[in-house]
A = this chain, B = another copy of it.
Amino acid sequence: MAQQIVDRRDQDFLLHEVMNVEALSKTEKFADFNKKTIDMIVTEARNLAVNELLPANKIADVENGHPEGVRLENGAVKVPPSFHRPYKLICEGEWIAMTDNPEHGGQGMPNTVATACRELFSGANMAMMMYPGLSHGAGKIIEEFGTPIQKMLFLKKLYNGKWGGTMCLTEPEAGSNVGALTTTAKPNGDGTYSISGSKIFISGGDSDLVENVIHPVLARIEGAPEGTKGISLFLVPKIWVNEDGSLGEPNDVAITGVEEKMGIHGSCTCSITFGGKGKCRGTLIGEANKGMKAMFLMMNEARLGVGMQGYSLGSASYMNAANYARERVQGPNLLKAIFDKAAPSVPIIQHPDVKRMLINMKAYVDGMRALIYFISNCFDQVAVATDETVKAKYQGLIEILTPVCKAYCTDKGFDVCTTGVQIYGGYGFCSEFPQGQLMRDCKITSIYEGTNGIQAMDLLGRKLGMNKGKPMMDLLFEINTKIKEAKEVGLSDMAGKVEAAVNKFGEIAMLMGKTAMSDKLMDAFAEAVPFQEAAGDVIMAWLHIWRATIASKALSQNVKKKDEPFYQGQVKTAQYFVDQILPVTLGKMEAIKNMTATIMEIPEEAFMM
């Protein structure tokens, strides 16, 4: 069977049966997107992903300097040669700005539909997709905060992929602590600024896929306050763009190095010096000293995108593992071997532990996919809402789910990839097979765009108490609605177990919120990551009973014979999650209740004498 990236049947299930995306076509905004159109779009994305993006992925999995890899030559980055064709197809198919305003070159597609395409692209070739992904992010900032001239000069070319974009935050001494950055901006008197400083870890910092690169750069205007309150955002083009849109002279932007990494080899990670010769020009975007606000817009989009990356590699690894387990014949059926020493070898999918690994992978992959589609659907609900309360509700759900999506989908995506290596046995460790690369590529996702520790702090310190806790209350309400529905279709046992877990989670959230506001806040923040994990688990449980409820209804009606295993799989997977994973979640919550000062009290010297 050809290598797959995402289970198409499950995409259709989520789009049409769970999220009911077609209902959006009743609104003026999304009137063009009926079921037939949606299915055609997903099929097209799938073909592009499998036939073009995927083959290039493995070819480019080589170290810098390799002829098939990233090369820094004379200060310019050449991306893997195999990326040129799929990149061109991504641009030509107008896949970069799927959800954006058609006025600026976007496709105006529902976010949920775009998500079905994005998971295919990212799962097929995460490294390649980072180039257009960052271009889109830079474009989005300009769309939101740019002056009319900035929009005119940059926006369409970022959205159509002629130019590339980046996100220049990190400096050697300012990683997670962005406020410590030292890059400066000095007004030139002509509306431009002189930018001076060095940035590291800049994905897509340069490339030969595009004519020009537009760098959004965080810098401090001379005399601005210290910390994040004195940070402004500038647009710094690699090649200056004249007022008529034509390209001017090269700007003073130097690529000083490209990192050698554990994975995503095809995505160049650049060190960049701006203004090394004192001649780097940029223009302010948004208000002075309000750069963090603009950057956060981009970061929130990027965080969800990174959650998607982590998840989608897990999905690809799971698909490979399921195929492999069906094809690899090794060892007899355990039960049969007891009675018949000559029992024949069987496909390893029949062995209990392999089946356990597969259902475990499926439980996380299906759960994460549902989470990502749910968040995407929230964006669509915001877009079509006419009532401000409704809009605010969905906006709040996006806010609270963003750190969970980023952290949980990258942690669990990596775990799924690790299991995907294990199912292949020794072959999983061999570079000839795809599982190792997926695992290595996935590792970065728990780190960049704010480490998962930062996400957990965001959840606990900002999102939990936001608007007096309304987003959290709304989330719990959504969950409880689905628990009720599950009970109505006869899934009372599993619904009851999810209910108990949700109630306990509510208690824990109160405890954490209270402690984080007390003099014991350090102890609460030491539990931030376990709390975020528990939140993710409970959310998975909710999405699984939601899935099971719909599947259970379908099975009780006259479902097509060939669809039965799919729906049975939904119910069994929910049962597995509730019986086998949720008890561990309850244990994690007990651990959080045990919160003491132990972690903060252990002497630093105890970590090594």
Contacts and interface: CB of A to CB of B under 8 A. Distances in A.
Interface of A: 4, 7-9, 63, 170, 173, 175-177, 180, 200-201, 226-227, 259-263, 319, 322-323, 325-326, 329-332, 334-335, 338, 341-342, 345, 349, 351-359, 362, 414, 418, 421-422, 425-426, 428-432, 436, 439-440, 443-444, 446-448, 451-453, 456-457, 521-523, 525-530, 564-566, 568-570, 572-573, 575-576, 579-581, 583-588, 590-591, 594, 596, 598-609
Contacts of A448: 426
Contacts of A600: 352, 355
A7 B173 CA distance: 29
A34 B584 CA distance: 46
B529 A356 contact: yes
Nearest to A1: B608
B587 A585 contact: yes
Contact of A586 (B362, B456, B590): B590
17 contacts: A175-B330, A262-B431, A262-B439, A335-B521, A335-B522, A351-B453, A352-B522, A421-B447, A425-B451, A429-B443, A565-B604, A565-B605, A568-B602, A568-B606, A579-B591, A583-B594, A584-B584
Contacts of A358: 607
A579 B598 contact: yes
Nearest to A602: B572
Contacts of A262: 421, 429-431, 436, 439-440
A521 B338 CA distance: 11
A565 B523 contact: no
Contacts of A564: 603
B431 A260 contact: yes
B349 A604 contact: yes
Contact of A334 (B432, B525, B581): B525
Contact of A591 (B430, B453, B457, B581): B581
B352 A525 contact: yes
Most B Cβ at <10 Å: residue of A354, A581, A587: A587
A569 B603 contact: yes
A607 B327 CA distance: 13
A609 B429 contact: no
Given A262-B430, A262-B436, A565-B604, 7 more contacts: A227-B341, A362-B606, A421-B443, A422-B453, A436-B443, A566-B605, A583-B588
A335 to B, nearest CB: 6
A170 B594 contact: no
A149 to B, nearest CB: 34
A443 B525 CA distance: 31
